[in-house]
Amino acid sequence: MENTGIYSYLVQPYQVDFQQKINFTTLGNYLIQSAGIHAEERGFGLQQLLENKKAWFLTRLAIDIEQYPLQFEKIWIETWVSEVGDRFTTRNFNILNRNKEVIGGASSSWAMIDLTTRRPASLSNLIGNDYVDGNLACRVMQPEKVPSVSKDLAPTEQLTVKYSDLDTNSHVNSMRYMQWMLDLFPLELYQERHIGRFEINYAAETHYSDNVALYKEEVQPSEEFIIELKKEPAKTVCRGKVTFR
C-alpha cells in the first residue's frame, strides 16, 4: 500500500459560510475523516485502536489555505504520516481543488490515549515504518506552540458546554473549539479578508456544563490574533492563532 492516501469530498450547501466558502470546521472534519480512512486502511485506525481500548487524540493542528472551495465543489485531501515518535506522530495533508491543484495544506500532531488509564500510550510498533515518509512535500510548517494571551486580558466571551458540543468521549468536539474561535470575529472581517492560517493547540478536555471563557488578543490589527480558552478558574483548554489575509 502506498504511503499517501487521497480522498474526495463534495462540499455541501450546509458546509459553507455566508460567502459560500467551505467552513473551517468542515475542512477540519474532512482532514480528520481522511486521516481516519488512511489509518484504517493501514491497520492503525480508530476502530482498530478502540478494540484495544485506545484512541487517537489530536494535540495540534495547523491549516493553511489560499483558495476556498465553494458549495458543490469537489475537493481532494491527500494525507500521509511524516514522523512517528514515542508519544507523538505528525500527519501532513495537501488540500487540492477539483483539478487536483494544491490550494492549501495542513499539519497535525496526534497522541494515542489509553482509554482505561486516560493516559498517553506509546506509539512504538503501532505504525509500521513502511507507512512513514518524511520526504513528501507539504507546504505547511508543523504546528507550533501557540503562546498564551496577556494575563490582564478580560474574556471576550463566556459559554457553557452543551449537549451538541460533546463527542463520543463526552468531551467537547475538537472542531467545536475552532467554531467558537471563529465566532469571535465580526462579520465585516470575513467580508474584507479571509483566514489564511489557523493553528490550534489542544491542552485539556472540557465536559458537559463546564464554563469556558474565551480570550481574544489582537497581535497585528485585523491580521493576527491569539485566542485562548480557559476553564474556570484558569486552566487552559486550548489556544489558537488565526491569521487573516
Torsion from C-alpha of 219, 221, 227, 232, nearest 10 degrees? 90
Among 7, 36, 142, 236, binds a second copy (CB under 8 A): 36
Return the range that interacts with a second copy (CB under 8 A); candidates 24-32, 114-122, 126-134, 135-143: 24-32
Contact pick of 11, 22, 23, 200 for a second copy (by CB under 8 A): 23
The answer to whether 158 contacts a second copy (rule: CB under 8 A) is no
* C-beta closer to a second copy: residue 34 or 94: 34
What whole-number distance in Å separates Cα of residue 85 and Cα of residue 172?
27
* Per-residue contact string for residues 1-20; x = within reach of a second copy by CB under 8 A: -----------xxx-xxxxx
Contacts 24+ apart (CB under 8 A), 234-237: 235/204, 236/148, 236/203, 236/204, 237/177, 237/202, 237/203, 237/204, 237/205, 237/206, 237/212
User: Cα-Cα-Cα-Cα dihedral of 235, 116, 38, 173, to 10°?
Assistant: -40
Q: 70 is written with which cell numbers?
A: 465553494
- State the minimum distance, in angstroms, from the CB of residue 189 to a second copy: 9
d(CA 245, CA 242): 10
Binding mask 184-213 for a second copy (x = CB under 8 A): -x-x--x-----------------xx----
CA 68 – CA 70 distance, rounded (Å): 6
Q: Which residues bind a second copy (CB under 8 A)?
A: 12-14, 16-20, 23, 25, 29, 32-33, 36, 46-47, 71-72, 162-164, 166-170, 173, 175, 179, 182-183, 185, 187, 190, 208-209
